[in-house]
Every structure is written in structure tokens, then in C-alpha cells.
Chains A and B, each alone.
Chain A
């Protein structure tokens, strides 16, 4: 059974596999939306998490017609929102355990 798990991707693989135009990915890194290890594009290493964020950034750019600084802001706010939601959910659950008799 072929179920190779991969944890990292190089820049050219990301563009090819995720079918993303190179200039999009360059822009996304330049905006600091994802920060791959490595000094130059041919050395960049993207984690699976970064690949997902990159694809999300491209979807938002194409579907909602948002410019790149706007995407950077939106993704950072969405990230905060997700964390706050998770934290709120956890705290509610703990409060319930604490107040329930």
C-alpha cells in the first residue's frame, strides 16, 4: 500500500503540485504570510501547514479579489479568530465541568 507521508515541500514542488503560479508564492512569502526556512527560493522548505496556508491565501486572493497585504491581514485575523474560538470553547467546557454538580 502506497501511503507515503510527506512533511515538507520545496518551492518548485509547491508551485507544481499545488498548481500555484510562482509569483503568487513569492508574494505570499514576501508578505510574511508563510515563512519557510531557507534564504532563497531554491532553498525554501515549506511545512504541510505552510502549504495549506499558501493555498488558502491563493483561494482568498482569487475568489474574493483581495490584494496581498489584505490577505496577510485577513489570514492573521482568521488565525487569531480560530485560536480565540478554540480557547473560548475550552474555557466553556472547563467552566461547565466546574459548575456542574
Chain B
């Protein structure tokens, strides 16, 4: 069992008073709250600081903890002191929060059901909701698609132990889903208790970044590299879209950064049904990587004849 140094977790001295503990907790809770934080371990951290606060803010628990803390070893392991009895039989109920560590549960109990470490979670009457990301390829948003998703849910055995099982579910994703959208699947979350209902599953849509297309609302953007002569003379070129290639006309004298609109080749809108956004082609003039004397000569001729000053704006500042 891992020993938890609650003082270290809250970043306070062992002699800190209740006020200091509360301030430290509030700062860390705001920092790590999973709804607010971008920290990758936010949820774990938040649970940890909440647990630390739960113990240190309560005088009785703190006194007990301080006694046990003397036995916490340097390697982070924890050997209970001689004569120490785990508090399981105290049967204290710390609300419905079932996320305390083994260390906490062994000291203060856990709503009292089983004393076996690692199966500390109590089955709530109503199963908890599960929220999970569902990555979707842009191509798959064009029409309704069935996707099989896998996620883990706890399973409670008759003797109160918990195991995790992998659940597979086929989900129909409607056309035109957007990033951040949520799909609710009733009763597919964590199982509820004997007389309770199962939790729901919430799928949060995430659009997988595409190698060619960027998303802007319902519109798509593609960068089109052009040779200098294609930009100068105009061109017809084959261009990929989300659903097949098209032929696109580049007008003569095109500029880098110019946007050409291809109607109806963007993402599907939910409403009006069947309508789609546009695809914008952003032009980008690129130079050939290699050259030779002949080509150089031609560029020189061009330079002599074109009489073009791309920096005319600077003329009165030089």
C-alpha cells in the first residue's frame, strides 16, 4: 500500500493551522479541478488533494493520521505500525465519494462493505455516468456511420468485489456531427445497484486532424501549392476533396494567400438537411527546390523584363 503524505500533497507544513490548510486546498482544487484544468493528471490530482483536505481539515482524522505518519517510510511504502487496526470496522460513510485511495480507506473506512484492498468501490444505487471521447474521421461525418466503441465499466460480483470488464457497443453516429458535441446513450454507463438504474454513456465527439483539410465551422480549408508559372499563367489542376477529386481552375495572376471557394464540398450541416459547407483552397506559391544555369538565365530575363517592385510600399522609407 502506498503511503500518502497529505501535508506534501497540499504543500503545507505539518504545523499548518486549519485556515492555512483550507487556503492551500482551495488553491489546488481550483488548479486541478477536472472541469477547469488542462493538466493531464487533473482528475487524479484533484482526488488526491480532496482526500488530503478531508483528513487534515478534520481534527480527529488529522490526529490519527499524524500518529500513523511517523511510520511512513522513505521509499513511499507504508507498513502499518504495530497494534494498528485498520479502521474498516468504523463504518464511517464519507458521502458517496468512492474515489479515496486504499491508504485512506484502510485508515478511515470507506462506507464499509468489504475490507479487501483493491475492491474499495461501493456500488451506488444509480450507476455512474461515463463520459468518453469518440474520435471521428472527417470523412465519416458526411453520412450516418456505425462505429463500434470499446470502454471499460466496473462489474460487481455477488460478494461485493469489483472487476473491470470491456464493453463493446455499436453506435450510429448521425451525419453532420460537430467537434465537442455529445451523444447520450441511456443505460450504457456503470451498472446500478440491485434496485437502481444503470448510468448513461456520454460520447464526446472529437474530430481527428486530417492530413490535408482544416476545419473552420462547416467549411474546410486546403492549402494548394502552386509553381510560380501556374500562379502567373493560370492552371487547371486535380484537387482532392473529402469525397473524391475535382478539377479546379486557378485564374492567371493568382497570389499567395488567395482563397478560392468550392461550393458544397465542406462538411455536412445538420440543418437544413443535406446542405454542406464550402471548401476553401488557399493558394501558396512555392519555388522549385533545384535549378540549373538554363533556368537561371530564364529567371534573369524575366527579372529584366518584368520591371516589378514587390516592395514599392517601402520606397519612401528607405
Q: Could you say which residues of chain B place their CB within 8 Å of the CB of A40?
A: none
Contact of B36 among A18, A78, A101 (CB under 8 A): A78
Asked whether B136 is an interface residue with its Cβ less than 8 Å from the other chain, the reply is no
Our count of residue pairs bridging A and B at CB distance below 8 angstroms stands at 74
Would you give the shortest CB distance from A15 to chain B, in whole angstroms? 12
Which residues does chain B contribute within 8 Å of A56, judged by CB atoms?
A: 35
A50-101, CB < 8 A from B = 51-52, 55-56, 59-60, 63-65, 74, 78, 82, 86, 90, 93-94, 97-98, 101
Of the candidates A7, A63, A93, the one having the most CB atoms from chain B within 10 angstroms of its own CB is: A63
Name B33's contact: one of A3, A5, A51, A64 (CB within 8 Å).
A64
A90 to B33, Cβ gap below 8 A? no
A19 within 8 A of B: yes
User: Contact between A6 and B214 (Cβ–Cβ < 8 Å)?
Assistant: no
Given contacts A3-B170, A64-B30, contact A49 B202 (CB under 8 A): no
Docked complex: B1-56 residues within 8 A CB-CB of A: 26, 29-30, 33, 35-36, 46, 50
Contacts of A82 in B (CB 8 A): 180
Q: In the bound complex, how far is the Cα of B181 from the Cα of A92, in angstroms?
A: 23
B64 to chain A, nearest CB (A): 25
On whether the beta carbons of B216 and A90 are closer than 8 Å, the reply is yes
B36 near A6 with CB under 8 A, answer no
Q: How far does the Cβ of A85 sit from chain B's closest Cβ, in whole Å?
A: 8
A78-B184 contact in complex given A1-B170, A93-B209, A94-B221, C-beta closer than 8 Å: no
Min distance, Cβ B127 to any Cβ of chain A, angstroms: 11
Complex contacts, A7 vs chain B, CB 8 Å: 184
Q: Is the CB of B223 within 8 A of A97?
A: yes
Q: How many residues of B contact A (CB 8 A)?
A: 37
CA gap between A78 and B209 in the complex, in Å = 23
Chain B residues, CB < 8 A from A4: 185-187
- Could you tell me which residues of chain B, from 151 to 184, have a CB within 8 Å of some CB in chain A? 169-172, 179-184
Are B183 and A3 within 8 A (Cβ)? no
Q: Which residues of A sit under 8 angstroms from B35, Cβ to Cβ?
A: 56, 59-60, 78
* Complex CA distance for A59 and B215, rounded to whole angstroms: 32
* Chain A residues positioned under 8 Å from B278 (CB to CB): none
Given contacts A19-B126, A90-B216, whether A3 and B29 have CB atoms under 8 Å apart is: no
Q: Which residues of B contact A55 (CB under 8 A)?
A: 129
Judging by beta carbons under 8 Å apart, are B181 and A49 in contact? yes
With both beta carbons as reference points, the residue of chain A lying nearest to B46 in the complex is identified as A63
Q: From residue B57, how far is it (CB to closest CB) to chain A in Å? A: 13
B214 touches A65 (CB 8 A): no
Tell me which residues across on chain A come within 8 A of B188, comparing CB atoms.
2-3
Give the shortest distance, in Å, between B162 (CB) and chain A (any CB). Answer: 21
Q: Are B282 and A64 in contact (CB under 8 A)?
A: no
Instruction: Give complex CA distance A31, B2 in Å.
Output: 44
B200 at the interface (CB under 8 A from A): yes
Q: A3-B169, A94-B221 are in contact. Are A52 and B182 (CB under 8 A)?
A: yes
CA distance A49 to B35 in the complex (A): 15
Task: List 6 A-B pairs, minimum CB-CB distance, nearest first.
Answer: A97-B223, A48-B184, A48-B182, A56-B35, A6-B184, A4-B186
Q: Which residues of B contact A (CB under 8 A)?
A: 26, 29-30, 33, 35-36, 46, 50, 126, 129, 131, 169-172, 179-188, 197, 200, 202, 209, 214-216, 221, 223, 282, 284, 286
A–B complex contacts, Cβ < 8 Å, 16 sampled: A1-B169, A1-B170, A3-B172, A5-B183, A17-B197, A48-B183, A60-B33, A63-B46, A64-B33, A74-B36, A78-B35, A82-B180, A90-B216, A93-B214, A94-B223, A97-B223
Known A60-B33, A90-B216; further 10 A-B contacts with Cβ < 8 A: A1-B169, A4-B187, A5-B183, A5-B186, A51-B182, A52-B131, A52-B182, A65-B26, A90-B214, A98-B284
